[in-house]
Amino acid sequence: KMMKTGKVVVSFFGDGANNEGAFHEALNMAAIWKLPVIFVCENNGYGMSTSTARSTAVKNIAERAAAYSMPGVVVNGNIFSEVAEASFKAVERARAGEGPTLIESKTYR
Ligand SMILES: Cc1ncc(C[n+]2csc(CCOP(=O)(O)OP(=O)(O)O)c2C)c(N)n1
Ligand SMILES: [Mg+2]
């Protein structure tokens, strides 16, 4: 952001990371500083052997974006066009200086 290159950071992580403190701290800081970041959570339904439904209080991880004033988008991670469309929108938003987006890409292990 400080270098004003128009570059965007894409951060990939599993559903297992969304209940970790660092996830929440990162989303909050990215939101307050309106950073050009796209958070992509690859939700494959399990964190190691633990079902996401049993470990996560929300139905969709993307809902957590609301707590950090950013768009949260659910896509079918197995459909290329859905992933691409959500990514293009998030890149546009980041480049316009509007800040981060959380994309939850649902798939299966
Ligand atoms: C900071 C940190 N906390 C906890 C762990 C322990 N840990 C190892 S794998 C895992 C779950 C990973 O889940 P996910 O990202 O969904 O990966 P998947 O099992 O789907 O490959 C956890 C909590 C770790 N490696 N690092
Ligand atoms: Mg997982």
Tell me the per-residue pLDDT of 21-57, one tens digit each, with 9 for 90 and over.
999 999 999 999 999 999 999 999 999 999 999 999 9
Distance 17 CA to ligand 2 centre (A): 8
Distance 48 CA to ligand 1 centre (A): 6
Question: What is the residue extent of each domain of the chain?
Answer: 12-49+60-78+92-106
Residue 37 CB-half CA count within 13 A:
19
Q: Among 13, 41, 48, 50, name the best residue to mutate to test ligand 1's pocket (greatest count of ligand atoms within 8 A of Cβ).
A: 48
Side chain identity, residue 27: L
Distance 108 CA to ligand 1 centre (A): 16
Q: How far apart are CA 83 and CA 46, in angstroms?
A: 20
- Please report the pLDDT score of residue 109 as a whole number: 84
Cβ pair 10, 86 in contact under 8 A: no
- Please report the pLDDT score of residue 61 as a whole number: 98
CA distances from 26 to 57, 70, 102, 108 (A): 19, 12, 11, 25
> Residue 1: which pLDDT band, with cuts at 50, 70 and 90?
very high
- Give the domain 12-49+60-78+92-106 fold: Rossmann fold (3.40.50)
Tell me the per-residue pLDDT of 57-87, one tens digit each, with 9 for 90 and over.
999 999 999 999 999 999 999 999 999 999 9
Distance 6 CA to ligand 2 centre (A): 31
- Please report the pLDDT score of residue 53 as a whole number: 96
Q: Is 71 in the pocket of ligand 1 (CB under 6 A)?
A: no
Tell me the per-residue pLDDT of 96-105, one tens digit each, with 9 for 90 and over.
999 999 999 9
